[in-house]
Amino acid sequence: MKILIGLIVVFLAIVYIYTFLKIRKKRKNITPDAVQSFHQKYDRIHNKPKPDTKIRNHTKQITRYNSTVDYITREDLAEDKNRN
């Protein structure tokens, strides 16, 4: 029984040492630029498309709803309609 417990303890010690060395080796290989490695890993760097020239040439359409008046009373609205 003592031999079995001793073997289990030795086995756990070997597994612990192996894991510790493996983690330590990975830490040495990590590059200091974490942001760049993140971008490379997850492909977050994208070239933004240039704005289309057709969009710049369009003009804003003016409708009757694009007025500067935010609120108008019924009486004022009736007066405006009577003027037109």
Domain spans of the chain, in order of start: 2-83
For residue 48, the model assigns a pLDDT of 64
Q: What is the pTM of this model?
A: 0.36
How does pLDDT run across 12-67, given as a tens digit for each residue? Answer: 999 999 999 998 888 777 656 777 777 777 775 566 666 665 666 655 555 566 66
What's the 3-state SS for the chain? CHHHHHHHHHHHHHHHHHHHHHHHHHHHHCCCCHHHHHHHHHCCCCCCCCCCHHHHHCCCCCCCCCCCCCCCCHHHHHHHHHHC
Output phi, psi for 73, to 5 deg.
Answer: -80, 165
pLDDT at 3 exceeding the cut of 70? yes
